[in-house]
Amino acid sequence: MSTHKSSEPSFHISDHTVPSATVVAGFSAFGLAGLTAADYLVDHLDLTETGHLTADALPSITPFEAGRPRHHSRFFSRPDLDLTVFVNELFLPAPVADSFADALLSWTDEHGVSEFVVLSGVPYAHGPDEHDTFYVASDDYRDHRLADVDIRPMGRGFLDGINGALMYRGIESDLQTAVFITPVHAQVPDVSAAIRLIETFDRVYDLGVDAGPLEEFARTVEQYYQDLAARLEKVEERQTPEDRMYM
C-alpha cells in the first residue's frame, strides 16, 4: 500500500456553529500584530471556539497550553454577537495563499458570510509620525462601513499573499472585504501596532472593545509569540509573501 501524499496543499474547515455575517481574521506574519489583535478580541469578547481549519502538505504546528494541544487555525464566536474571529497561527507561504483563500471563501459562501476583514501589520517604510492604520477595501465595504468613519485609505501599492487573494475575491464577488493595515516593527509581539488595529476595528464596529489591557494580555503570551516568530523566521528564509505598499 502506498503511503505517498500529494505535495499540493489542501485545507479543510470543520465547524459546529454557523459563522456570523462578519468574520475578522488575524494571520501569522512579521511582528504578529494582526494575530495578537485577533487573539485579544477572542479574550476580551469572551468568545468560544466554534470550528477549526486543518492543512495537508504544509509544515505544520500544533500549539499547546497547560499540556493540552489545540488546532493552529481556529474560529471563535458567541451566540449573542454577530462576529466570528479567525485566529490563524499557521504560516502561509505565498504559493499556498490562493488555495487557502479558496477554502476560506468557499466556507464563507456556504454559510452566507457577507463581510471578511483582515487585521494586518505590515513592515513598510514609514516616518515616526506615520504610525496610523489605513484600509484597502472593496467598494461595497467602503460604502457600508467606512463612509462615516475617519480612516485613511492606503495610498498606492499592492497586496499579495493571503491578503491579496482575499481582497481579489472582494473585487470579483458580493463578499465585502477589507484589510486594515498598520506599520509593524520587529519586536514580537508589536503591541503598539496591535493596539492601533484594535482601536480602528472598534471605531468601525463599535463593540466597546477597550485596547488598554492589551499590553498586559500581550505580556502573558509574549514568550509563546516569540517562539512562534522564531519559527516563522526559519520558514521565511525559504519563502515568504511580501506586502508592498506605498503612501
In terms of Cβ atoms closer than 10 Å to its own Cβ (0-12, 13-18, 19+), residue 122 is: buried
Residue 240, pLDDT score: 45
As a whole number of angstroms, the distance between CA 101 and CA 81 comes to: 25
- Between residues 5 and 221, which one has the greater pLDDT? 221
Angle (nearest 5°) at CA 167 between 114 and 50 = 45
In contact, 121 and 182? CB cutoff 8 Å = yes
pLDDT value at position 2? 38
pLDDT score for 185: 78
Contact 91, 237 (CB under 8 A): no
Assess whether pLDDT exceeds 80 at residue 75: yes
**Average pLDDT of the chain?**
84
Mean pLDDT across 57-80: 84
